[in-house]
Amino acid sequence: MSQAEGGVVTSAFILLFYLVFYGFLTAMFTLTMWVMLQTVSDHTPKYQDRLTTPGLMIRPKTENLDVIVNVSDTESWDQHVQKLNKFLEPYNDSIQAQKNDVCRPGRYYEQPDNGVLNYPKRACQFNRTQLGDCSGIGDPTHYGYSTGQPCVFIKMNRVINFYAGANQSMNVTCVGKRDEDAENLGHFVMFPANGSIDLMYFPYYGKKFHVNYTQPLVAVKFLNVTPNVEVNVECRINAANIATDDERDKFAGRVAFKLRINKT
Amino acid sequence: MVKKTLEIYSVELSGTKDIDQTDKGDGKEKYRGLKNCFEPKKNHQKEELKKELDLDDHKLSIKELEKKYGTNIITGLSSTQAAELLAQNGPNALTPPKETPEIIKFLKQMVGGFSILLWIGAILCWIAYGIQYSMNKSSSLDNAYLGCVLALVVILTGIFAYYQEAKSTNIMATFNKMIPQQALVIRDSEKKTIPAEQLVVGDIVEIKGGDRIPADIRLLSVQGCKVDNSSLTGESEPQARSSEFTHDNALETKNIGFYSTTCLEVSTSPVGTATGMVINTGDRTIIGQIASLASGVGNEKTPIAIEIEHFVHIVGGVAISIGILFFIIAVSLKYHVLDSIIFLIGIIVANVPEGLLATVTVTLSLTAKRMAKKNCLVKNLEAVETLGSTSIICSDKTGTLTQNRMTVAHLWFDNQIFIADTSEDHSNQVFDQSSGTWASLSKIITLCNRAEFRPGQESVPIMKRVVVGDASETALLKFSEVILGDVMEIRKRNHKVAEIPFNSTNKFQLSIHKTDDPNDKRFLLVMKGAPERILEKCSTIMVNGQEQPLDKSTAEAFHTAYMELGGLGERVLGFCHLYLPADEFPESYSFDVDTMNFPTSNLCFVGLLSMIDPPRSTVPDAVTKCRSAGIKVIMVTGDHPITAKAIAKSVGIISANSETVEDIAKRLHIAVEQVNKRDAKAAVVTGTELKDMSPEQLDELLTNYSEIVFARTSPQQKLIIVEGCQRQNAVVAVTGDGVNDSPALKKADIGIAMGIAGSDAAKNAADMVLLDDNFASIVTGVEEGRLIFDNLKKTIAYTLTKNIAELCPFLIYIIVGLPLPIGTITILFIDLGTDIIPSIALAYEKAESDIMNRKPRHKKKDRLVNQQLAIYSYLHIGLMQAVGAFVVYFTVYAQEGFKPSILADLRVEWENGIVNDLEDSYGQQWTWYQRKYLEWTGYTAFFVGIMVQQIADVLIRKTRRNSIFQQGLFRNKVIWLGIASQIIIALILSYGLGSVTALNFTMLRPQYWFVAVPYAILIWVYDEVRKLFIRLYPGSWWDKNMYY
């Protein structure tokens, strides 16, 4: 065997070796990942320790969470309106009536499996009309954006098997962050009244089995925000089992956003 | 040849005249040699040397000297004069070689090796922060903070390495300052003892026997003074000194004593001291000038420094090329430039083994400490390894290979040669001592001897006692003390009535004693001296205690014995005696040594005794070990070729069955020229022969002969020999003690100075100091050096492995868009936290096989970090680790709600602080902080995954070829300490500091600690299989590609 041939043979051996070696490594990875995934169930995560306090979020979702409305400039708020239209579409009464149940308010809508493993769960209706002036149905003011009285929607993050409120009623409240913010904020109205969230929307059973789950919303309509100033608004949920004072997580049980109405 | 020996070795005792002759003969040559070897150096240095040659103080009369130096030989200088001169000329001490300023050393540590890469990383961090800040004033400080951490890492590791270096240099410094020298000086008409450093030109100093001469002095009044100039000229014979001007050359004249040479003895009458005037101090002394010239010889980079540089280049190259490649990929994947810079930082941090250089320093200093315990003091940490790669040792003879003291080796009496014990403690003299001849011989040895023990040494072992007297007499004194007991007492009982000391015309020494036998009133005349001169004076010979006439056959026997002993390179003495008839020499007889009123012929010959500076008992074994370790041992000595050859043979430098060209010629009875040079393995080359050789001839000599002895060489020729060896691509170790050795010590890859016999200049030039002057210590040094090279390989392989596991997350993060699996800070905690102690622990690993049975590593071929090591660490074990750590990471995410399928491409949303309702695989929504916390848990999980697999890694790195079980799992306990430290540090980081968010660690569920265990086991099994195949199929493609 010549030296060149020897080199070729060695290279072939090495190539083969790496094929086998990496093939084996891939198989080993696949195997261990498969074994690991066996420990994870389809309907509930194994651990939820990070989600003891659900976060709050606003709609429209904007960059830097600031809702800026130039009343005269349609374009400045049109994208918000588009987003909201889309966001609220599943809440249309017709869709809700078609897919979801009418539940009894004031109590959790528990649906135990009753022996049937992973029995599909029903969801309670949250009708768009419950949002009153902020429902945007037949609303020429476009959720108030065209008149400088914008609606901001607040929702609480979904957490599987979380009994929000611990069987007591809960509601969302909003305040100006500092004193001057409170002054500039002016009056606002909330839908549903008092910004309350009903217990019937809990618990959540996970997207796989709770297919049509409709997240409850609270709409806040700011009626007379002082124009041309930035107002820091903070909304939080008042519920027995939701802490809102986590120093590190600024969105645990609360949400802060900026509101600015520019009028000329 | 043998005839010549006889001539030389028949010159005995104070054979000053002959030494003078040799001195005159080649003294000039010697100096020229010295000049020659400095010729290529800078011109002004040569000028200095010339100026020194113009020294003419030895030609001046005492009056002229007094005038020149403004002094008086009776009253000395005044204190004020001395103080002025001291201020003017500086202290009388050699300026130590210019040390790199501490700050430079420190800064070097800051920018050397990987530090540059980390600085780049830090600066990129600050740039990234700057960009962020300019875009958004409230941007997070993360990047600025990371930049500071990186800078801190560089500074801390720099400080650490600097501290380690400084600590090992300190050992040396304290060692240097151990013995402050004192000098007895006359100032203000008073004798004062002052530190030798304060001597100034013009001082009148007094010197006793045994003192080191404190400066260059012109001798004013002296009797029977001898100095040891070996450190200056390499001449090991004592040289006489007097106050007369005897030679134009300052180096040759007798009336100059040189700084740092030793005054061996001064005749006790009339004053017992020599007086001299200081004519040069400090660096202006001859020795000072030579020492400063030595610093002109460049210091070459140590092999390990070259290896580490090579390794840094490899790793740095990988880091930079991957970094730039992924920077380009990131930019072309439409990432922001800012993000791409941050990826680049991550890649650099992941690739650079931050802790490794500190680890290497610690490892080296651990070995240095271990070697110091075995009497090898390492001055330069990197020299630790150099000894291990040494392929040629040029060793001194005297003191290194030999005990550096004359010792009685053979006796001849009763027509028989007896062997005396020459071991270090003379413990068992087993020759037959029952003969009457021995009784007589021992009496002569004891009585005809002027050497005496210094008083007050009763508790000191005989061989270690200090003796006043020359080397041969010392040997005889100790020899007789060991066998007969209290010699001084015997001498007292046999009162000496007359004495003729040795002189070179007589070539004998004689004394007459009353005997200790009360019934015998006869005087005993004892005589020793050059054997043929003694024999001439004898008419009878003592055999078995009986006097017999000296006939032709006994004379022949004498000659045979004399030849034989001379041929062994030994110094032979003859002994005879005569009982003076009581009637002619009554008790009251007055002996007169000048008129010689007693017989000095027709004496009774008693025996011969031969002496040699015997090899140290540990040396033959050490030489054999060097041989089997593939190291060529070359003897370079100023001694006579016959002695050199004899010692070389007895220690195995010339092995028992190899012959020189001369040996072959003698055996075959042909002329030397007719011998086929290829038949000879050994060669004895004298300095004169060497002088006539061209470099090519020297190269040929060095390659063709495996056993070489250079005899009668000047220390300057040592430099030529060293350069010759280095031309063979060898790593050369040189031992030396003299000032003139210092250029060779510097030139050598590793210069080894003798701790006891060595001059300060030699110690300064050397990289290593042998505290016990023992050649065997070099062998331990070689062993340690080789071991550390092997172990450094293991340490580096261990450290490099996890780099891939740290790097992959970044690459996958960039390409696939997973949430970042491991953060930069976390990587630093692995590199500088959990990994440090295990990687140091590998330095304690025992050798896998007999490292002293393999060839020295090839400077250019056997690299510290070779392709196999890099590939095996990066692409085999490193990848397994990465996969294992990813499994832990995926487990944590999946069990919290993010299944692997959803993670891909999640990066942008995941990291967006505005998105506080990110959906997981179950429809749950996460705020930014909740996700961030999960991300940190992911970091911790990945960290733990790597840590667990690094435990397997450190275990497999214990061996490169053998199974771990062959090596013994528990033999290196430090490894387990390292593993424990890994686990404990990880536990503290996760559970103790889990709440400190800045560190990005979280409390990890206990079960996640075990997820990577299958991979750890896989790593271990895989490596065992690798080693098994290497052992089973040596030389196969597997062996070639998998053995690092």
What's the residue count for chain A? 264
Q: Residues 14-73, chain A: which have Cβ within 8 Å of B?
A: 14, 21-22, 25, 28-29, 32-33, 36-37, 39-40, 43-51, 54-57, 61, 63-65
| Mean pLDDT for the stretch of residues B435-449 | 88
When mean pLDDT is compared across A87-101, B130-144, B513-527, B1000-1014, the lowest value belongs to B130-144
Q: Which residues of A touch B1041 (CB under 8 A)?
A: 14
Size of interface A-B (CB pairs under 8 A): 124
Mean pLDDT of chain A: 90
Asked whether the predicted pLDDT for residue B1 surpasses 50, the reply is no
Q: Which amino acid is at B866?
A: N
| Mean pLDDT for the stretch of residues B816-842 | 92
Residues of B carrying an active site annotation: 396
Give the chain B residue whose CA is nearest to the CA of A33.
B887
Q: Which of B867, B927, B940, B1021 to substitute to test the interface with A, most A CBs within 10 Å?
A: B927
Cβ separation B929–A10 shorter than 8 A: no
Predicted confidence at residue B718, as pLDDT, reads: 82
State both tokens at A115: 């022996």
State both tokens at B1021: 């099994």
B1 touches chain A (CB under 8 A): no
| Mean pLDDT for the stretch of residues B691-703 | 89
The conformation of residue B189, written as its DSSP 8-state character, comes to T
Cβ separation A33–B928 shorter than 8 A: no
Given the cut 0.90, state whether the ipTM is greater than it.
yes
User: What are B98-139's pLDDT values in tens digits?
Assistant: 667 778 888 887 887 788 888 988 998 898 888 888 887 777
B1010 touches chain A (CB under 8 A): no
CA–CA gap between residue B195 and residue B215 (Å, rounded)? 12
pLDDT bucket at B20, cuts 50 / 70 / 90: very low
Cβ separation A36–B1011 shorter than 8 A: yes
R_g over Cα of chain A: 26
- Nearest chain A Cα distance for residue B138, angstroms: 12
A98 touches chain B (CB under 8 A): no
| Mean pLDDT for the stretch of residues B411-440 | 81
CA–CA gap between residue B601 and residue B7 (Å, rounded)? 22
* Residue corresponding to tokens 């003796």: B467
Question: Per-residue b/e over B1000-1024, b at no fewer than 16 CB within 10 Å?
Answer: bbbebbeebbebbeebbebbbebbe
* DSSP SS3 for B329: helix
| Mean pLDDT for the stretch of residues B704-713 | 89
CA–CA gap between residue B412 and residue B950 (Å, rounded)? 70
The residue among B932 and B112 whose pLDDT is bigger is B932
B879 touches chain A (CB under 8 A): yes
- Write out A10-52 in H/E/C secondary structure: HHHHHHHHHHHHHHHHHHHHHHHHHHHHHCCCCCCCCCCHHHC
Predicted confidence at residue B184, as pLDDT, reads: 85
Alpha carbon distance, N-terminus to C-terminus of chain A: 91
Cβ separation B924–A10 shorter than 8 A: no
User: What are B614-666's pLDDT values in tens digits?
Assistant: 888 888 998 998 989 999 999 998 788 888 888 899 899 998 888 888 888 88
The conformation of residue B77, written as its DSSP 8-state character, comes to B
Q: Which residues contact B733 (CB under 8 A, 6 or more apart)?
A: B386, B387, B390, B392, B393, B394, B748, B749, B750, B751, B752, B778
The residue among B293 and B1015 whose pLDDT is bigger is B1015
State both tokens at B358: 């500190």
Half-sphere exposure of B445 (CA within 13 A, CB side): 29
CA–CA gap between residue B338 and residue B510 (Å, rounded)? 98
* Ranges B1-15, B17-31, B465-479, B853-867, most confident: B853-867
What pTM, to 2 d.p., does this model score?
0.80
CA–CA gap between residue B940 and residue B934 (Å, rounded)? 10
Asked whether the predicted pLDDT for residue B7 surpasses 50, the reply is no
Residue B602 Ramachandran class (φ > 0 left, ψ -120 to 50 alpha, else beta): left
| Mean pLDDT for the stretch of residues B204-225 | 82
User: What are B32-49's pLDDT values in tens digits?
Assistant: 344 444 434 334 443 444
User: What are A135-180's pLDDT values in tens digits?
Assistant: 888 888 889 898 889 999 999 999 999 999 888 999 999 999 898 9
CA–CA gap between residue B278 and residue B218 (Å, rounded)? 6
The residue among B928 and B158 whose pLDDT is bigger is B928
Asked whether the predicted pLDDT for residue B411 surpasses 80, the reply is yes
Q: How many CB atoms lie within 10 A of CB B17?
A: 13
Asked whether the predicted pLDDT for residue B157 surpasses 80, the reply is yes
State both tokens at A157: 């993050």
Q: Which residues of B touch A64 (CB under 8 A)?
A: 914
Give the chain B residue whose CA is nearest to the CA of A212.
B923
Cβ separation B894–A36 shorter than 8 A: yes
Asked whether the predicted pLDDT for residue B397 surpasses 70, the reply is yes
| Residues B480, B462 contacting (CB under 8 angstroms) | no
CA–CA gap between residue A165 and residue A242 (Å, rounded)? 7
| Residues B123, B147 contacting (CB under 8 angstroms) | yes
Cβ separation A40–B895 shorter than 8 A: yes
Give the chain A residue whose CA is nearest to the CA of B918.
A157
Cβ separation A248–B923 shorter than 8 A: no
pLDDT bucket at B1028, cuts 50 / 70 / 90: very high
Strand order in B392-395's β-sheet? B376-378, B768-770, B750-754, B732-736, B392-395, B632-636, B707-711, B682-686
- Calculate what percentage of chain B has a pLDDT beyond 70: 89
State both tokens at B7: 């001539």
Cβ separation B997–A248 shorter than 8 A: yes
The residue among B226 and B527 whose pLDDT is bigger is B527
CA–CA gap between residue B460 and residue B462 (Å, rounded)? 6
Cross-strand pairs, A101: A124
Predicted confidence at residue B958, as pLDDT, reads: 94
Return the closest-CA partner of residue B928 out of A217, A255, A162: A255
Predicted confidence at residue B836, as pLDDT, reads: 92
| Mean pLDDT for the stretch of residues B692-715 | 88
| Mean pLDDT for the stretch of residues A250-257 | 92
| Mean pLDDT for the stretch of residues B479-495 | 86
Asked whether the predicted pLDDT for residue B821 surpasses 70, the reply is yes
Q: Which of B917, B1019, B1023, B1037 to substitute to test the interface with A, most A CBs within 10 Å?
A: B917
| Mean pLDDT for the stretch of residues B830-855 | 90
| Residues A245, A251 contacting (CB under 8 angstroms) | no
User: What are B953-1012's pLDDT values in tens digits?
Assistant: 999 999 999 999 988 889 899 999 999 999 999 999 999 887 777 788 999 999 999 999
- Nearest chain B Cα distance for residue A231, angstroms: 18
Asked whether the predicted pLDDT for residue B348 surpasses 70, the reply is yes
CA–CA gap between residue B705 and residue B722 (Å, rounded)? 16
- Nearest chain A Cα distance for residue B697, angstroms: 37
Q: Which residues contact B7 (CB under 8 A, 6 or more apart)?
A: none
Q: Which residues of A touch B879 (CB under 8 A)?
A: 22, 25
CA B918, distance to chain mean position in Å, is 67
User: What are B742-797's pLDDT values in tens digits?
Assistant: 778 888 889 998 887 777 777 777 888 888 888 888 888 898 999 999 999 999 99
- Alpha carbon dihedral B202, B205, B207, B212, in 10-degree steps, equals -60
Q: Residues 160-199, chain A: which have Cβ within 8 Å of B?
A: 160
State both tokens at B930: 């909740």
Predicted confidence at residue B28, as pLDDT, reads: 39
Mean pLDDT of chain B: 83
Give the chain A residue whose CA is nearest to the CA of B894.
A40
Q: How many CB atoms lie within 10 A of CB A175?
A: 13
| Mean pLDDT for the stretch of residues B892-902 | 94
Q: Which residues of A touch B915 (CB under 8 A)?
A: 61
Q: How many CB atoms lie within 10 A of CB B267?
A: 15
Asked whether the predicted pLDDT for residue B693 surpasses 60, the reply is yes
Phi, psi of B30 (to 5 degrees): -55, -50
- Nearest chain A Cα distance for residue B996, angstroms: 12
Phi, psi of B735 (to 5 degrees): -105, 150
- Nearest chain B Cα distance for residue A239, angstroms: 18
Return the closest-CA partner of residue B257 out of B283, B222, B227, B236: B227
pLDDT bucket at B851, cuts 50 / 70 / 90: confident
